[in-house]
Structure 1
């Protein structure tokens, strides 16, 4: 997997220093936002969607006329949201990106699209790359398609829904993993306007992933809950994960949207299948760069936040040390998006739902094939590409004890075969050990050269006075993740924070913040203003902090 290096750590601190240049007040505001996220969506086999117009917002205060998919108000059955406990879940009749459809491998999926776009837009449609779509009736075994002449109208790539009409697509969710869907009609305009979304296909078997099954909530340490959609991304022992996040990257040229809005108003009686608009989609100059339909810092607000009625999904990952985090990544639009996850490389499991497997061993053909995807410094997505990968952070390689143990405190770290303190250690680590998954080689190593706290033994770094440095309300004022991390980070003039009160005890939230962002510097701006765009903060939280992804 690789591990965090001093260079990566230094780079992260450099980014935070860069943020500091925008002003202490602004930085504190950014780092005090909510940061709870999951991979939310709607589940089932039958989905009734709209294509509709609305406006979305950007952090610079602009309101951008857009088109998007959403849930039809006439759904025959109540919508089922995942995670089931998520608060405030809603599926409006238009959202960007479109609803994330969470389905099961092997199921027959039916999507009926109603074209509620303005008449001037003409027809619209949906493509489902990677799936064989039936524009009619699909047999119960998924093998025979009976075409229907009344199902929409023929288009260049797929059957389309005329203005005010419908079209139905049926397919077998044959391949697990992360997939995308988007308009197959006038793609240069309709995808730009916002007609795209994601599909998550969960594996239908667990023959090879029995070890991925989670403890019931009653048996999970520190009050943790299981918010995953499934125990594994694929039926492969290397595809287990503890936490999952979906990142759909897109960009937006407001000039195109302004032209579309003007021409929609001027062509209200259009009856042409290809619409009555002549929008110049070149030259292309995007000013907004979005993760799940939002730009930073909006992407750090909760899912389904009421201030974004047509942008329900956020993009803000949390994790505990040692957790395997599944990243579901989709490139949308026209540009490549080189997204960099600070703290570790990402091990790619699959592209476009296809597992990247090791070759079959001729001498042992029964030997399981394991994912053999690359370790990526940046998960670069081209338009339409999807990617599944595993990320984790353990503190390995820091060369100091991230859990704040010190000689003589009686703490234990027994390495397993890989050097970590886990249930595979002898004796095994309790699942609720505050330093579960600690890299034992660094156990008891000091950070401080001129110590403020109890970890004094001549380490290489002098901590700054907490009166001088603050990193916002996510940070406990401590470089440690132990359960009493904040009280162990004291300054010559008092505890951290300097009010002599423990504002961020580790059990409430006092982790490390790593910046995750596009490596195309223009894409971390909003209308040329930094910070913005494709940027977020990934938080490594102390194990004792229960990450609540229900809001």
Structure 2
């Protein structure tokens, strides 16, 4: 597929990795499995099961106060909540070496029977409840406790270990993130500068090559609404029988799950365009997490992907390749040199069922062969700047060819207007050709406007960085953005109930350095 780049105005819609913490070295999470509904862009309300932080009837405010030890990152705490039931379940965030306790209470309908949680990758001790096939299970109204040591950093899954073919489909799954206990000292230096820091850590692993500036979690899954409707019908039948006779016995839910025909495809519990709305938006009370990554040129993004569904979802990214750090929390290190990472460069994440992949991504404009910042200074030669060439906004390459804090003189993150620029393309003109209205790829779609270039700032600048701007910076347009479509490479998965566009689709927005990336909106 051809990479799509679009010059456009971008609102304050962001994404992050919100979740809940459970304390310091012995975090405890009190989760409840219950039923609710989730919404889809076609107007459908889907009967869903999910993990949450409170019992039915508890207000959101009460849940927020009762949630285990609070929300993270701190910059999101003011807007974060942990609903009674959410899809996916709350992201659990702990540190390497923590002894983690998860108390699960079963508030699912009577017909659902027992439920449980398993934590692949960890040695788990389970107490209370009743014996199940994979772990101890909680009967309705009862609680089971799971405990384990978070032995190594990484991204992990958790999900129901009871009647998994139905309960995971219904929504009983979530993510667990284990942060390194002591991030490498080399990762203390960041391209974020004075901007608000939304990261959970400065490094993904105990390795100096795992540093990052921003991070996003993408949980990909699918949904067959026919299965959900069939489960709801059996729940209603059971509830009606009990209402008529308190001693009535309900048969366990027996829903046909094969053949499997999913018609909704989700990123963090939402379909496009809903996934590009703000996190914790009130119109998605059971779907608090969004998926809409933003970064500035030169920043390093940590991408955490999780395959939560029954089938594989090929998440295809545009703009650059990503370097794989780890799979299932297993760091890919060179067998020859332990100080070097050995993960491949990829532009499609397989997102295999139950597998997690951590990768690093950057965007700099390298390879476009024109100056993405729109520098057009008279008399300035193309390529890296030299002293005395009359260029008021120079580009000094570091040892890798970029204008960064390692350059001499150094660029300053969030201050230098072309921080992260690929200097070999500095002052190269944009290849503008007169539009041909009969050729949409070079006519209606593209007029040659540089997205990061010297443009006019619109009124209402409260959203912009307040740092004093050096010459040339004040004329940069922070509301502009360069967008790349990130989506499933399975065509049916970019539809919502067979209607395009929808499903597993989102936009990567590369914001100009003048734009403040506010991940709370």
* Pairwise same-fold verdict (TM > 0.5): yes
1:231 aligns to 2:202 (yes or no): yes
> Hey, what does 2:58 align to over in structure 1?
none
1:90 aligns to 2:67 (yes or no): no
Q: Distance in 1 between matches of 2:52 and 2:95?
A: 21
CA gap 1:194/1:81 in 2 versus in 1, 3 angstroms: same
Contact 1:119 1:275 in 2 (8 A): no
Tell me how far 1:11 sits from its aligned partner. 3.0
Which of 404, 408, 412 is equivalent to 1:430? Answer: 412
Q: Distance in 2 between matches of 1:300 and 1:104?
A: 29
> Hey, what does 1:306 align to over in structure 2?
282
Tell me how far 1:214 sits from its aligned partner. 4.8
Q: Distance in 2 between matches of 1:205 and 1:80?
A: 21
Deviations 1:75-110 (A, max 9, x none): 866641112122421101100000000111100000
> Hey, what does 1:111 align to over in structure 2?
102
Contact 2:67 2:82 in 1 (8 A): no
Tell me how far 1:371 sits from its aligned partner. 1.8
Contact 2:223 2:264 in 1 (8 A): yes
Deviations 1:281-305 (A, max 9, x none): 0110000000000000000000000
Tell me how far 1:538 sits from its aligned partner. 0.6
> Hey, what does 1:120 align to over in structure 2?
111
CA gap 1:238/1:378 in 2 versus in 1, 3 angstroms: same
Which of 63, 71, 84 is equivalent to 1:81? Answer: 71
What pairs up with 1:181-260 in 2 under 5 angstroms? 181-206=158-183, 209-214=184-189, 221=193, 224-260=195-231
Q: Distance in 2 between matches of 1:550 and 1:282?
A: 40
Q: Distance in 1 between matches of 2:258 and 2:83?
A: 31
> Hey, what does 2:395 align to over in structure 1?
413
Query: TM-score normalised to the size of structure 1?
Result: 0.80
Q: Distance in 1 between matches of 2:290 and 2:220?
A: 12
> Hey, what does 2:232 align to over in structure 1?
261
Contact 1:360 1:369 in 2 (8 A): no
> Hey, what does 1:523 align to over in structure 2?
493
> Hey, what does 2:386 align to over in structure 1?
none
Tell me how far 1:476 sits from its aligned partner. 12
Contact 1:121 1:275 in 2 (8 A): no
Pairwise CA RMSD of aligned residues? 2.8
Which of 47, 55, 59 is equivalent to 2:41? Answer: 59
Tell me how far 1:360 sits from its aligned partner. 3.9
1:381 aligns to 2:354 (yes or no): no
> Hey, what does 1:490 align to over in structure 2?
none
> Hey, what does 2:384 align to over in structure 1?
none
CA gap 1:430/1:462 in 2 versus in 1, 3 angstroms: farther
What pairs up with 1:248-397 in 2 under 5 angstroms? 248-268=219-239, 269=242, 276-361=252-337, 368-397=338-367
Deviations 1:313-336 (A, max 9, x none): 000000001110000100011110
> Hey, what does 2:469 align to over in structure 1?
none
Q: Distance in 2 between matches of 1:369 and 1:416?
A: 22
Q: Distance in 2 between matches of 1:463 and 1:114?
A: 62
Contact 2:225 2:262 in 1 (8 A): yes
Tell me how far 1:477 sits from its aligned partner. 8.8
> Hey, what does 1:49 align to over in structure 2?
31
Q: Distance in 1 between matches of 2:349 and 2:322?
A: 7
Which of 423, 427, 434 is equivalent to 1:440? Answer: 423
What pairs up with 1:459-470 in 2 under 5 angstroms? 461-462=433-434
> Hey, what does 1:547 align to over in structure 2?
517
Tell me how far 1:423 sits from its aligned partner. 1.8
CA gap 1:436/1:240 in 2 versus in 1, 3 angstroms: same
Which of 1, 7, 13 is equivalent to 1:35? Answer: 13
The unaligned stretches of length 5 or more in structure 1 are: 1-7, 18-27, 137-150, 362-367, 450-460, 488-503
Q: Distance in 2 between matches of 1:296 and 1:204?
A: 36
Q: Distance in 2 between matches of 1:326 and 1:237?
A: 14
The unaligned stretches of length 5 or more in structure 2 are: 56-62, 379-390, 458-473
> Hey, what does 1:25 align to over in structure 2?
none
Query: TM-score normalised to the size of structure 2?
Result: 0.85
Deviations 1:36-76 (A, max 9, x none): 11111111211000000001000000000010000135786
Contact 2:20 2:67 in 1 (8 A): no
Q: Distance in 1 between matches of 2:132 and 2:302?
A: 37
Tell me how far 1:505 sits from its aligned partner. 7.5
Q: Distance in 2 between matches of 1:245 and 1:355?
A: 18
